[in-house]
Structure 1
Amino acid sequence: MRTEICDRLGIDVPIFAFTHCRDVAAAVSNAGGMGVLGAVGFSAEQLEIELTWLDEHVKGFYGVDLVIPARYEGAGMDDLSPEQLEAALAERVPAGHREFAEELLNSHNVPHLPPEEQHAQLLGWTAVTAAPQVEVILRHPKAKLVANALGTPPKDVVEKIQESGRLIGALCGSVKHAMNHKNAGLDFVVCQGTEGGGHCGEITSMVLWPQVVEAVGDLPVLAAGGIGSGAQIAAALAMGAAGAWTGSLWLTVEEANVPPAQQQTLLDASSSDTVRSKSWTGKPCRMLKNDWTEAWERSDTPSPLPMPMQMMVALDAVKRGHRYPEAAKDVAFNPVGQVVGMMTKVERTGALMGRLVEEYLAACARLEALNQR
């Protein structure tokens, strides 16, 4: 199961786990894979705390995932500070969108936040606001890998990361995007089919993975989108992938910082309960469909705004959903892939890693037996 990228990153198995929870990231890295912490929800100061904790609890290395979109509202306003950019974009948000979001939450009796928690920063949804996060990452040697979730990272970010000895890559949902990453000199691409949770394209994994592998040549490809078993990892490697990039699976492990009500919603969901929606971030994002996603799709309601302004509308809902998960379960932000239908029990991260490896070996054994017939 060991591939070349394992040697470059100092890991035992090519299993990458995207998560917003530092405990999960540490557990995956300590089990031989690479935990990748999603940074978009953290200020630079908070990210410093998270990475310092990971430095102390990870025996080897870990990764960090940024969100610097290639295209977004406000791109080109690089002369502004993060605070100035946030203020400038806030002026472009129609009052009707905020009012509609507020009415939707009130209709579901989701309590308001305490006054001290009401301000929600834009954080890492633009190049300007993500720049301080990059500087934090560069101060932590165990942060061996950086991935950008939306588009090819800016040239200066790529140069800084590579000059520090780290690997930098980005997610893609098409051959075109993969070639953009390759031409920009990235070290790897994460090829995500439409089954995947979060931001994704329209092409399925089984079709997309081999196309991207062939197109980028010797550039390592990490397969993502719908991976929930070791057999699927074996299939990805058989098609030329250098490893598996997983995400949704880690929402239902014991270490995940997911409220019990939200976790139970995931455990109860089937693979047909997800939808690609712009209602939270402004770009197509796969999540559990609920009253929030359906409300923004109606013809008599506001249309989602471009990124990052839609997230500026939705940030209050995200925070209220985290604080009051029971009340907000029908209007909560639940990004997850179609693999949710395979997520039927809670288990320890280490046990899940072990199961993935065992299932991979069993799949390889089945193929070997067929080859010997």
Structure 2
Amino acid sequence: MRTEICERLGIDVPIFAFTHCRDVAAAVSNAGGIGVLGAVGFTAEQLEVELAWLDEHVQGVYGVDLVIPSKYEGKGADGLSPDELEAKLAEMVPQGHRDFAEKLLNDHNVPHLPEGEHHHQLLGWTATTAGPQVEVILRHPKAKLVANALGTPPEDIIKQVQDSGRLIGALCGSVKHALNHKRAGLDFVVMQGTEGGGHCGEISSLVLWPQVIDAIGDLPALAAGGIGNGRQVAAAMAMGAAGAWTGSLWLTVEEANVPPAQMQSYIEATSHDTVRSRSWTGKPARMLRNDWTEAWEKPENPDPLPMPLQMMVALDGVKRGHRYPEAAKDVNFNPVGQVVGLMNKVERTADLMQRLIEEYLESCERLNKLNNG
């Protein structure tokens, strides 16, 4: 199971775990894979705290996931600080969208945040805000991998990361995007099928993976989208993947910083309960269907805005939902893939890692028996 990318990163197994929780990232890395911390929700100062904690608690290496879309409102606004860009973009958000989001939350009796509690509206959804995050990453020697969730990273960021001896890659949902990543000189590609949680394309994993692998040749391709057990890891590796990029299944581990009400929503959900929606971020993302996603789909209501404007509308709902998950149960942001139908219990991260490896080996043994007659 040890592939070339394992050798380059110094990890035991090619299991990559995207998570917004540092405890999960550390547990995966310490179990032989590599935890990849999602940075989009952190300012540069907050990311410094998270990575310093990971430096202390990770025995080997870890990764960081950025969100720098190829296309977004405000792209090219050179010379503006993150605060200036946020103020400029805030002026582009129609008040009607903010009023609609506020009414949705109020109609569901979701309490407001405590008075005086401030949060940024923009977060790390642009090159301007991601640049300071990259500077933080490069100060932490155990952060050996950087991934971009939406599109090919800017040329200067690719150079910065590679010149520091780190690997940099990006997610893709089509062959076209994968080839763009290869032409830009990235070190790996994450090919995510439409089954995956969060931002995803329209092509299923079983169709996408072999197409991308054939198109990009010897560039390492990590399989993502619908991987929830070792059998699926084995299937991806059999098609030529260099590893498995997982995300959703780490939402229901003991170490996950997921409120109990939200975790219960994941455990109770079936694979039929997800939907691709632009209602939170402005780009199609897979999540649990609920009153929030349904409301933004109705023709008489406002259409979701482009990224990052829609998240500037929705972020108050994210924050209120995280603080008051019981009240926000029907309007919460629950990004997750179709694999949620397999996520029906809570288990320790180390146990889940062990299960993935054992199921992978069992699958390989089953195929060997078939091949040997």
Determine whether 1:108 maps to 2:85.
Answer: no
The residue aligned with 1:167 is 167
Between the aligned partners of 1:327 and 1:118, the Cα distance in structure 2 is 21
Q: Report the AA paired with residue 326 of structure 2.
A: E
Q: Report the AA paired with residue 370 of structure 1.
A: L
Output the aligned Cα RMSD.
0.5
The residue aligned with 2:255 is 255
The residue aligned with 2:327 is 327
Deviations 1:235-283 (A, max 9, x none): 0000000000000000000000000000000000000000000000000
The residue aligned with 1:284 is 284
Task: Give 1:122 shift.
Answer: 1.1
Between the aligned partners of 1:117 and 1:166, the Cα distance in structure 2 is 37
Task: Give 1:119 shift.
Answer: 3.2
Between the aligned partners of 2:141 and 2:90, the Cα distance in structure 1 is 36
Between the aligned partners of 2:120 and 2:4, the Cα distance in structure 1 is 41
Between the aligned partners of 1:20 and 1:116, the Cα distance in structure 2 is 25
Between the aligned partners of 1:121 and 1:133, the Cα distance in structure 2 is 16
Task: Give 1:121 shift.
Answer: 3.6
Deviations 1:10-33 (A, max 9, x none): 000000000000000000000000
Contact 1:192 1:225 in 2 (8 A): yes
Give unpaired runs (5+ residues) of structure 2: none
Between the aligned partners of 1:348 and 1:269, the Cα distance in structure 2 is 20
Task: Give 1:116 shift.
Answer: 2.3
Between the aligned partners of 1:117 and 1:213, the Cα distance in structure 2 is 47
The residue aligned with 1:176 is 176
Between the aligned partners of 1:119 and 1:16, the Cα distance in structure 2 is 30
Deviations 1:116-155 (A, max 9, x none): 2243341200000111100000000000000000000000
Between the aligned partners of 1:370 and 1:203, the Cα distance in structure 2 is 30
The residue aligned with 2:227 is 227
Contact 1:118 1:316 in 2 (8 A): no
Determine whether 1:351 maps to 2:367.
Answer: no
Between the aligned partners of 1:81 and 1:191, the Cα distance in structure 2 is 33
Between the aligned partners of 1:154 and 1:85, the Cα distance in structure 2 is 18
The residue aligned with 1:265 is 265
User: Helix, strand or coil for the counterpart of 2:301?
Assistant: coil
The residue aligned with 1:135 is 135
User: Helix, strand or coil for the counterpart of 2:36?
Assistant: strand
Between the aligned partners of 1:350 and 1:263, the Cα distance in structure 2 is 19
User: Helix, strand or coil for the counterpart of 1:153?
Assistant: coil
Determine whether 1:315 maps to 2:315.
Answer: yes
Determine whether 1:363 maps to 2:373.
Answer: no
User: TM-score, structure 2 length as denominator?
Assistant: 1.00
Identity of aligned residues (%): 79
Determine whether 1:29 maps to 2:1.
Answer: no
The residue aligned with 2:302 is 302
User: Helix, strand or coil for the counterpart of 1:266?
Assistant: helix
Between the aligned partners of 1:243 and 1:264, the Cα distance in structure 2 is 29
User: Helix, strand or coil for the counterpart of 2:320?
Assistant: helix
Between the aligned partners of 2:78 and 2:22, the Cα distance in structure 1 is 30
The residue aligned with 2:240 is 240
Between the aligned partners of 1:30 and 1:117, the Cα distance in structure 2 is 35
Determine whether 1:117 maps to 2:117.
Answer: yes
User: Helix, strand or coil for the counterpart of 2:116?
Assistant: helix
Between the aligned partners of 1:21 and 1:370, the Cα distance in structure 2 is 41
Larger displacement relative to structure 2 (143-152 or 76-85): 76-85
Between the aligned partners of 1:11 and 1:272, the Cα distance in structure 2 is 35
User: Helix, strand or coil for the counterpart of 2:297?
Assistant: coil
The residue aligned with 2:18 is 18
Determine whether 1:337 maps to 2:337.
Answer: yes
Task: Give 1:79 shift.
Answer: 1.5
Between the aligned partners of 1:215 and 1:79, the Cα distance in structure 2 is 38
Q: Report the AA paired with residue 299 of structure 1.
A: P
User: Helix, strand or coil for the counterpart of 2:245?
Assistant: strand
Between the aligned partners of 2:152 and 2:358, the Cα distance in structure 1 is 35
Contact 1:61 1:144 in 2 (8 A): yes
Contact 2:63 2:144 in 1 (8 A): yes
Task: Give 1:362 shift.
Answer: 0.3
Between the aligned partners of 2:132 and 2:331, the Cα distance in structure 1 is 31
User: TM-score, structure 1 length as denominator?
Assistant: 1.00
Between the aligned partners of 2:49 and 2:239, the Cα distance in structure 1 is 39
Between the aligned partners of 1:121 and 1:289, the Cα distance in structure 2 is 24
Between the aligned partners of 1:281 and 1:328, the Cα distance in structure 2 is 18
The residue aligned with 2:154 is 154
Deviations 1:174-197 (A, max 9, x none): 000000000000000000000000
User: Helix, strand or coil for the counterpart of 1:53?
Assistant: helix
Between the aligned partners of 2:102 and 2:278, the Cα distance in structure 1 is 18
Between the aligned partners of 2:119 and 2:347, the Cα distance in structure 1 is 35
User: Helix, strand or coil for the counterpart of 2:25?
Assistant: helix
Q: Report the AA paired with residue 6 of structure 1.
A: C
Between the aligned partners of 2:316 and 2:228, the Cα distance in structure 1 is 31
Between the aligned partners of 1:289 and 1:77, the Cα distance in structure 2 is 35
The residue aligned with 1:212 is 212
Taking the TM superposition and a 5 Å limit, the aligned residue runs for 1:52-71 are 52-71=52-71
Contact 2:121 2:311 in 1 (8 A): no
User: Helix, strand or coil for the counterpart of 1:36?
Assistant: strand
Between the aligned partners of 2:346 and 2:119, the Cα distance in structure 1 is 33
Between the aligned partners of 2:227 and 2:188, the Cα distance in structure 1 is 19
